[in-house]
Structures are given as C-alpha cells and as structure tokens.
Structure 1
Amino acid sequence: MADQASKDAAAQQRIVSHMQKDHHDSIVRYLEHYSKVSAWTAQSGVLTAVDLNGMTLTASGKTHRIPFDPPLKSYSEARERVVSIDQDCLRGLGRSDITINEFIWPTGRYGVEFAVILGIFAAYSQRWWFAPGSIVERSLGVGLAKFSYRIQPWLFGGLLVVHAAELAYFVPARLRKHSVNPRTGLFWLWCAAQAIMGIGCSKRFDALVEKKRVAKGKQQH
C-alpha cells in the first residue's frame, strides 16, 4: 500500500512538472474556459496538484478546481484526459490548436518594408518639418516641401487610421486565436510590429502558423 502511494505521488509530481514546463498555455486555457477568469489573470496560473478526481490550479492568489468527469482510474489516463480537456477549451474559447509562442523579426523583403513604413511614419509625424524655411525645404527643395506640407495630415492620419483598424482585427483574429496572452511581452511585440507594418505583419504571422501546423502534422504521422 505504501509502495503504491509512493508511485502515485511520483506520478502526480511528474504530471504537474510536465504541465508547468511544457503546457502552460493549456493551463491558461483551463482557467479561462472552466473558471471564467480573464486572459490576463489566467496567465499567472499554476497547476499545484492533480489527483484522480481533478486538478487544482491557482491564479492571482485564488484557487480553482477542475474536476475529471469521470474520475481517472489510474494516473496512466492523465495524459489523454488533460489533452481532451484542452480540446474542449479550444472549442469553447474559439481557439486554434496551434499556439504561437515566438516572435519572428522582419528580415529580407519584410525587413525593407518595415524600414520604409517606419521611415514614412517618422518623416511625416511633424508637419512643421515641411513648412516654408524648414530644413526639408532648404535641403530637398521647395517643391517636395510644399507637396509634403499639403499631404502630411492626410498621409499620417490615414496611416494611423488604417493601421489601427488592422491592429484591432489582428488581436482577436490572430493573437487571441493562437493563445498569445496580453500579459506577455510576445503579445506586445506582435502588436508593435502590426501597428507599423500592417498587412505585412499579418502575412508573417500566418506563415509562422502554417509552419507550425506542418510541423505538428509531421509529428502525428
């Protein structure tokens, strides 16, 4: 009896350690779906214990219990059960089974595009730079300065509106869908890239999702 209790305790610890190390995104989803806590709060979630009847988690100082229904017969069933529970969470939250946990810096063509758009934002952020007698007029000529002075409010304002709209769509359609939590630096890196690049960032994100989907498919075969 003591030997079985020791084996069970070791199995419990292995499950807790494995989930914390390799599947924290699943723990976050458990809390979001079953305990109805916000994504921000759920990011602090910790799996503290598991037994045949369920899992005990904590988040922001509160304890949450997620039962196994039906209870496990042995801990050998735990892996299949936690995967099944996570699948329920994905469906309930409207999430993809592909979690994005990395940021891809713009390189090559995307790097050039990033630099150009950032340059336009910077260059046209101040209208007075193009006013009569300004450094732009003295350096690049009256024609360019007059033209830039005239279009600056429309160009800069238009870029802000378009990129803000794209960002508003990007957050739920891509970041939230692929379990990128707003409490992480990763979330804000993608937001910053999207705010600057717009659709170019969305294409990079989609390419990363597809790469992970292909890799996951190979692992399953």
Structure 2
Amino acid sequence: MRALFSSHTHRKHHHRHQHHSPTMTTPNSSADAAVKQRIITHMNADHQDSLIRYLEYYAGFSSFSARNAQLEDITFDSLTISYSHTQSHRIPIKPPMKTWSEARPRVVEMDQVATRALGRADVTVKRYEGPRGWMTVVMAVVVVTVVVFSRRANFEPGSVLYWALLKHVPGFANFCWMVQPVIIPLMLAIHCWELWQFERTRLRKHTVRVFSRTWWKWVVSSFVEGAGSFVRFDEVVREQEEERAKARH
C-alpha cells in the first residue's frame, strides 16, 4: 500500500497555487462540493485518529508532530492534511478515484494499512476512566508516601508525625530516617518506567492524541498510581470493542 501513496510536505499557500486536472480533482457541481465538505467535516469530527496515522505512516511524522492533524482538502487524487497553522501535507491517491463513492473504502483501506504497519490497535481510546476502589487506595498511599518522605525531618523528634505516631515505634522511625534519601528517587524511577511502558503499550498503541485532555489524564494517573491505570485502560478498550461488536449486529 505504501507504493500506492507517495507524499510530500508543503506550505499551505503553496498548495493553493497547485493546479490539478479538473476532470479528476475539482468538483464540477454544487452536489460534488457538498459531498466533499461532508467527507472533510466527518473525518475531522470523528476520525482524527485516522488522520494522525496517515501522517505518521505515509509521511513519517512523529505522533507529536501529527497530533493536530485536520483534513484540509480531499480530491479524487489526493488528501491534504494540515498539521500546524502554516503547514500541510499532501498525500496523493494512486490510482485516482473516479467518483466520490470510492472515498470511504479508500480512506478505510488506507487507515487499515497504516494501523497494521505502525503496530497500532484498531480501537482508538477517546475517554478517561478515573481510579476507583482499591485503585483509589493505592493512589492515596503513593501521595501520602511522597509527602511523608519529602523531608527527613519528618522522622525526627519534634515533628508532628513523630510525636503523633512514630514515637511509639522508634526503630521504624530510625529506619525511615535512614532510607529517606533514596525513597523519592527510587519511586520517581519506578513511576517514570511505568509511565514509559504505559505510553508505549497503551496510549500510542491506541492512538490517544498527544497532549489532548484525555492523554494528560491518563499520563497523570499512570505516573501517580502505576498498575491501576493499566487495568482501567484495558477495561475501556474491552468496552469499546464490545460496543463496536454490538453496533455491527
């Protein structure tokens, strides 16, 4: 499929001056223009994930560079996808389409090829689920641990924590005092590794748009709580797969 779609990057104002064969790329009636606009509106509203994958696979963009992908124009022989306020990328369609009725199967096929080649899942996660039950407890424990171990003085006589709790277990207080310098760096290293795994095996795989609100929520949850975010993300994927299966019947 890569042989069918070659591409090049250009400035938007350059694109406006390009000339295409009117028989293949220019709508020749108001009806054609309306169909074209419906395709553009639908792709931007419901299939931005596909546009992101187009730029990643057919143009070699990073997920960061492609995060704001929007379909700017579609003709019988090309897709023009903007990725910033000043730049867009044109992906030729070869062979050119003959009618607008070919548009849907073509863009679907294009996305399927990109999805497989990028190693992505065919389910795009577009929502966030917060922690609940034991996941909330884990998150609370992590937060409390960070606060408590943020200062070595918390384990010394004179601190609120020491006189409220640790004076009853001085041996444990002394142990915490000794390990305090390594606890925060160790936790940071573990949580950064978990976040990297989450981004690679969940967010990127399921084309969660980089820096979107949903992306940030999952990133923060993953960094703070770790395992719980993996469990909930997988649950969201299963739910969306089930919803899609029901819609097919």
Query: Do they superpose with TM above 0.5?
Result: yes
> Superposed, which structure 2 residues align to 1:141-156 within 5 Å?
141-142=166-167, 143=170, 144-156=172-184
- Determine the structure 1 residue equivalent to 2:65: 41
Q: Aligned partners of 1:37 and 1:64: how far apart in 2?
A: 10
Task: Name the SS for the 2:80 alignment partner.
Answer: strand
Q: What CA deviation, in whole Å up to 9, does each residue of 1:88-129 have, x standing for no partner?
A: 111121111111111111122322222222222222222221
Question: By how many angstroms is 1:83 displaced?
Answer: 0.8
- Determine the structure 2 residue equivalent to 1:180: 208
Which residue identity lines up with residue 136 of structure 2 in the other structure? G
Residue 189 (structure 1) aligned with residue 202 (structure 2): no
- Determine the structure 2 residue equivalent to 1:200: 228
Task: Name the SS for the 2:218 alignment partner.
Answer: helix
Task: Name the SS for the 1:163 alignment partner.
Answer: helix
Which residue identity lines up with residue 48 of structure 1 in the other structure? E
> Superposed, which structure 2 residues align to 1:2-21 within 5 Å?
5-21=29-45
Task: Name the SS for the 1:70 alignment partner.
Answer: coil
RMSD: 1.9
- Determine the structure 2 residue equivalent to 1:97: 122
From 158, 168, 171, give the equivalent of 1:133. Answer: 158
Question: Structure 2-normalised TM-score?
Answer: 0.81
Higher relative contact order (Cα pairs below 8 Å, separated by 6+ residues)? 2
More helix by proportion, 1 or 2? Answer: 1
Task: Name the SS for the 2:29 alignment partner.
Answer: helix
Which residue identity lines up with residue 73 of structure 1 in the other structure? K
- Determine the structure 2 residue equivalent to 1:122: 147
Which residue identity lines up with residue 180 of structure 1 in the other structure? V
- Determine the structure 1 residue equivalent to 2:15: none
Q: Aligned partners of 1:36 and 1:151: how far apart in 2?
A: 46
Percent of matched pairs sharing the same residue: 37
> Superposed, which structure 2 residues align to 1:41-80 within 5 Å?
41-60=65-84, 61-80=86-105
Q: What CA deviation, in whole Å up to 9, does each residue of 1:52-83 have, x standing for no partner?
A: 11211222222211122222121111111111
Residue 211 (structure 1) aligned with residue 211 (structure 2): no
Count of residue pairs the alignment pairs up: 219
Task: Name the SS for the 2:112 alignment partner.
Answer: helix
Question: 5+ residue gaps in structure 2?
Answer: 1-26
Comparing 56-65 with 132-141, greater Cα deviation is found at 132-141
- Determine the structure 2 residue equivalent to 1:88: 113
Q: Aligned partners of 2:93 and 2:49: how far apart in 1?
A: 19
